[in-house]
Structure 1
């Protein structure tokens, strides 16, 4: 019982230090790792050694992938590729299903681009479509926000799911994580759209900041600022070619040897490694560079990507250190014997991630911390197989989106750019993320009945 009380105290420390004390999650997780080591009475020399190894091991597996994915996202964001993706979806779906169109645009754009940035980029497009289709801005905002949120939480190369996969030993199975993540993310995006439709015909008064709501003219002006937009192939290739290569690499090593055993097999295995696949994606993203001095433009985007990736790398490394400490304590055996009889399986990581997300606001911190916490317990929870680990990432992701409210930066991005009153945002955006999280864990549980 003491072991569990220490664990609860550690989680409470992480939450309180990041919320009340405003301590950076990197330092909070690192401090939690040291506290855990002493609380569980590990030898002092062993504590430092384990923390160093845990920090280095996780970044050795997944650090380069996080950096490359972030740089690709920056290039796509700055080149206007997100606008091209949105217009391509509108051409395919037309304007008959406004909220579905916005959900799918968000779903696609947020695979490489952070959901906060994606919403800011697409805000003018969303408002222009709402005005053109005579649809509530609130409904369109929730549809876009939940579509962005879905792939941001479940699908690599977004850093959160990549870090969680690395913590759970899936760095060589990212193709499977992507494939399952796309399915779970689609269900949660549709759940968000369903809730958005409740507001589609409602005339909700928006906050007045003295400026008119952006309309079609503003979107045309936004497009003009980007200059010549990339083609649909140029916009989508840096995302989907790496995903395709990673998935083909995963299929290539199936025992049935679907691609034979010659040079095709060895080439697909090499190209399907996440680092190589994302380097291919980065090369394709370079075709989006359009200034006169492409070398400087590329350098500036890389610097911006590195600055964006640095906090995520540090949080991921500290999460790996925390997990490494927990792994060598007797906690795993004790919790395993206790939890195995309860049969809660995938619901345990979901509840922990949901508690962390709701308390401290960051989806990435919830993904990293929960995955580090759960990694030593997979055997006892009956999830110590490749598919069990993949579904654990999905369960953590479902918890890490439950719920977005006032302590989440994304909540304020959606609220301020949509001019929603805070009370309306709680009814629309916060409840939507709760529904998404519940839909996500139900989907993961149903998949577990078939796949485990």
Structure 2
């Protein structure tokens, strides 16, 4: 029992440090690693080595992938590729299903672009369509936000799911994570879309003239014109979907049955399908989106922007790896795994922990990283220590990491402020939507666990 009490105390420390005292998650996780090491009485001469090896080990596997994915997202955001993606979806669906259109656009755009940025970029499209079709901008806001949120928490190369996959030993099999993540994210997006439909007659309840004059609330056509010549659909989608396709092909090639044999072609496809190689190719494709005469300077600037954006995620991921390494060095995994197995918690345990962390401190990425580091040592005792078990654990953690987005989450404020929602309306529309999404996704994960495990 003392082992569990220590773990609960450490989790409470992480939650309070990050939510109440606003300590950066990197420092909170690093401190938690030391606290856990002392509390579980690890030999003093092994603590530093355990923490540093855990920190470096996870970044050695997945760090470059996170950086490359973030840089590609920055380039797509700045080049207007997200605008092109939105136009493609509108051209296919037309104006008949505005909420569905916004949900699909959000679902696609948030694979390479952070959901906060995606909402800001696409807000003027949402407003323009709402006026044109005389429909509720609140319903369209929720549809867009939940579409963005779905792939943000489930589908690599978004940094959170990548980091969770790395913590759980799936860095070489991201294709399977992507495949399952696409399905779970689609289900979560559909749940959010259905919830959005409940607000089809609701109008904004906050008047904010300052927002009306904001650059992001200008007419959609004017916003498109501000990017100059937009990339073609192929060039807009290629930097993200070519790497995803290569990663999936690589995962198929490396299946035990060796469906493509073991010759030179299989070796080449396996190499191209390594996440690092695939994202380098994606980065090269994204460089073709740069415009003007100073492309090298622009490319360097975008890389710098991407590194700045990726740095906090890398530090949090590394600290999460250090925390997980400390827990792995203790007898906690065996004890907790056996206890939870006896209770029949199983796949719900990662969801519960992730949801608690998300709701308490606000960051989906922190919830994904911390929970994956926490549960990694106990996968065997939970009956999840198989390839598919690890993938479904990532999905369960992702479902928890979207449950729920409320006032301590920056995305909540982006959605509510740009949609001119009062806090009360935002809780009913956006926060409840994320609760519905998370629970729906977890139900699907549980059903998949019954079928596949």
Does the TM-score normalized on the shorter chain lie above 0.5? yes
Q: Shift of the alpha carbon at 1:308?
A: 0.2
* CA distance in structure 2 between the aligned counterparts of 1:125 and 1:272, rounded to whole angstroms: 35
Q: What SS does structure 1 have at the residue aligned with 2:48?
A: helix
Note if 1:78 corresponds to 2:78.
yes
Q: Distance in 1 between matches of 2:27 and 2:221?
A: 44
Deviation at 1:206, TM superposition (A): 3.3
Partners of 2:123 and 2:217 within 8 A in 1? no
Aligned residue in 2 for 1:24:
24
Match of 1:281 in 2: 282
Partner of 1:299: 300
Q: Structure 1 residue 256: deviation in Å?
A: 2.6
Using the alignment, how far apart are the partners of 2:38 and 2:210 within structure 1? 56
Aligned twin of 1:61:
61
Partner of 1:350: 351
- Distance verdict in 2 for CA 1:55–1:218, change over 3 Å: same
When residues 424 and 221 of structure 1 are mapped into structure 2, their CA distance, relative to the original with a 3 A threshold, is same
Deviation at 1:449, TM superposition (A): 1.3
Compute the displacement of 1:29 (Å): 0.1
Find the aligned partners of 2:292 and 2:197 in 1 and give their Cα distance: 41
1:279-428 equivalences in 2 (<5 Å): 279-428=280-429
Relative to structure 1, is the Cα distance of residues 210 and 20 closer, same or farther in structure 2, using a 3 angstrom cutoff?
A: closer
Structure 2 distance, partners of 1:212, 1:286, is 34
Contact 1:354 1:399 in 2 (8 A): yes
Query: Which one is further off, 363-372 or 197-206?
Result: 197-206
Matches within 5 A, 1:20-419: 20-209=20-209, 212=212, 218-419=219-420
The answer (yes or no) to whether the contact 1:79–1:289 under 8 Å persists in 2 is yes
Give 1:2 deviation, angstroms.
Answer: 0.6
Q: Is the 8 A contact 2:254 2:270 kept in 1?
A: yes
The count of residues paired between Structure 1 and Structure 2 equals 452
Unaligned runs of 5+ in 1: none
Report the Cα distance in structure 2 between the residues aligned to 1:67 and 1:212, rounded to whole angstroms.
Answer: 35
Q: CA deviation at 1:336?
A: 1.5
Shift of 1:326: 0.1
- Separation of aligned partners in 2, 1:168 and 1:374: 8
| Worse-superposed segment, 208-217 or 260-269 | 208-217
Q: Structure 1 residue 208: deviation in Å?
A: 2.8
**TM-score, normalization: structure 2?**
0.98
Tell me the distance in 1 between the aligned counterparts of 2:303 and 2:204.
Answer: 42
The whole-number CA distance in structure 1 between the counterparts of 2:420 and 2:384 is 44
Q: Distance in 1 between matches of 2:67 and 2:332?
A: 33
Residue by residue, what CA displacement relative to the aligned partner does 1:243-288 show, whole Å, maximum 9, x if unpaired? 0000000001123322222221001100000000000101110110
Q: Is the 8 A contact 1:127 1:213 kept in 2?
A: no
Mapped to 2, the partners of 1:323 and 1:217 lie a distance apart of 46
- Cα RMSD, aligned residues only: 1.2
Displacement of 1:204 in angstroms is 4.3
Tell me the residue number matched to 1:438.
439
Separation of aligned partners in 1, 2:210 and 2:2: 58
Dislocated runs of 4+, deviation >3 Å: 210-217
> What secondary structure, in the 3-state scheme, does the structure 2 residue paired with 1:288 have?
coil
1:334-374 CA-partner distances (Å, limit 9, x unpaired) = 11221111111110000000000000000000000000000
Q: Counterparts of 1:60 and 1:211 in 2: how far apart (Å)? A: 43
- Shift of the alpha carbon at 1:207? 2.8
Q: Is the deviation greater in 190-199 or in 210-219? A: 210-219
Deviation at 1:217, TM superposition (A): 6.5
Distance 1:99 1:192 in 2: 10
CA–CA separation in structure 1 for the residues paired with 2:397 and 2:211? 40
